[in-house]
Amino acid sequence: MSRSHSGGERWPWIVLALVLTGPSACLSCSPGDVPQACRGAERRCASDRLEECNATETGFELVELCDDGCNSTLLECNICNAGTTQCEDETTMRICSADGLRVTPTRCEDATPFCLGDTGRCVACVPLSAQCEDVNLQRTCGPDGRWHDAKPCAADETCFLGVCGGECRKDDQRCVPGVDHYEVCGAQGEWGPPVDCGTGTSSDWDVCREGVCVDSPMYAVGYDDVSGWDTTNWFRSSLIVIPVEVESDVRVFELQLITATGGGFAKMAVWDDSNGYPDKLVIASDNKVAVRTGAERVSRFLISKHPELDARRTYWVGAVFSDDVTLYWRYNESTKYLRYNYDIEGDFTDLDPFPSPAWPGNPNEIGLSIVVKDLL
C-alpha cells in the first residue's frame, strides 16, 4: 500500500528506486554479480599512479607509474616535477612549468654561467675550482657555487691558471748580479732570460738598479782636463802608454786623446797591468781616427766591444800616430809613461801581451783617457 500526498504523488518510493539503481548498483543483479565500478576508458590519478578502467568495468588498473607526479586535471603523467629546475648541460638549466607538462631550456646568465647538477641551479662558479683575480690574487669557489673573497699569494709567487706558485711575481724585474742585465718574471712565475741594458732603444748603455735600467753618465778615467798643462812634441810611429787608476767597476765605451797641434791619424788601445807594467790587451780602437787640434782638440775612438774593467786596478792606455803631434803633459813624479816603436797600420794584436822592454819616459801625465760608465 502506498502513501500519497495531495495531487497523488508517490515520491518516497521514487527516491528509493533511484538510490538502488546508482552507478555502483545493478537493477537486476544475480547472486555473485560484481557491481560496475567505472565506465569505458575512464581514467583517474591515485597518488603517483595513472589508472584506467579495466575491460570489465569492475575496477581500475595501472597504466603508468608517474615519476614526476600524476596530473589529476588532465589525467596524464607530468613530464617534469612542477616548478622545479634541472641541468640540461653545464651551462643550460631546464625549468619545469607550474602544471608539470612543459620544460623550457634556459641558458645561464653571465653572472651565474654554470649549472650545478646537484641543485639544478645556475651558479657563479664550479665548486672547489679556483681562478686568478690578479697576478697575485687567488679566489676559490665554495661548494655552493659562490666565489670566496680573493686571497693574496705569497710575496714571491704568481697566480697562474688559478694556482699560486712559481719563484717570482708576474712582471716583477730584478737585476742579474754583477752585470748590467735584468730579468722579467713571466706569466707562470718564472724568471725570463736576461735582458741587456745596452740592447734597448737607446744607443747608450745603461746600468741595472733595483730591476730597472737607469742611465749611468759617462766619465773619463785618466786625463781629460788639460787646462794649464804644458805641451811636448811626439813622433810618428811611436806608441806612448800611461797608467790610469780605475776606482769602481766600469764598462768601456770609447777612448779619448787630447792634442795641442798636429795632423794625420791615430789609434788607441788599453792593456791590463802586471806588476807595474802593461800586460794583456783589453781593447783596441776599431779604426784610425783623424787627430783633432785647435778648438776641437779631443779625438774620440769608437770601439765595437765594450769590456768591463775591475775596480781598484791599474790599466794602461796608449796611442800611436801617423804624423808628428804636440801632446799636453803635466809633471807627476808617481806617473811614468812608456814609449815603444810601433807602426800605426798594426792592429795591436802583436802587442798582446805587451812586449818588453819598452823605453821608460819622464814622470809625466799625458792627455789620454778611457771613457766609461759605472756598473752596479
Q: Tens of pLDDT along 211-224?
A: 888 877 889 999 99
Put simply, whether the predicted model's pTM sits higher than 0.75 gets the answer no
Most distant CA atoms of the chain, gap in Å:
173
How many other CB atoms are found less than 10 A from the CB of residue 195?
16
What's the mean per-residue pLDDT of the chain?
85
Q: Tens of pLDDT along 60-73?
A: 999 999 998 998 88
Task: With a cut of 50, say whether residue 43 has pLDDT above it.
Answer: yes
What pLDDT is attached to residue 183?
92
Contact 246, 312 (CB under 8 A): yes
Domains assigned to the chain: 34-78 (no CATH), 85-123 (no CATH), 130-165 (no CATH), 173-214 (no CATH), 219-374 (2.60.120)
Q: Tens of pLDDT along 254-267?
A: 999 999 987 899 99
What are the DSSP calls for 68-112, one per residue? T-EETTTTEE-SS-TT-EEESSSSEEEEE-TTSS-EEEEEPPTTS
Q: Tens of pLDDT along 123-180?
A: 999 998 999 988 889 999 999 999 999 999 888 888 888 888 888 888 889 988 766 7
Least confident window among 15-29, 112-126, 195-209: 15-29
How many other CB atoms are found less than 10 A from the CB of residue 233?
11
C-alpha cell at 10: 508517490
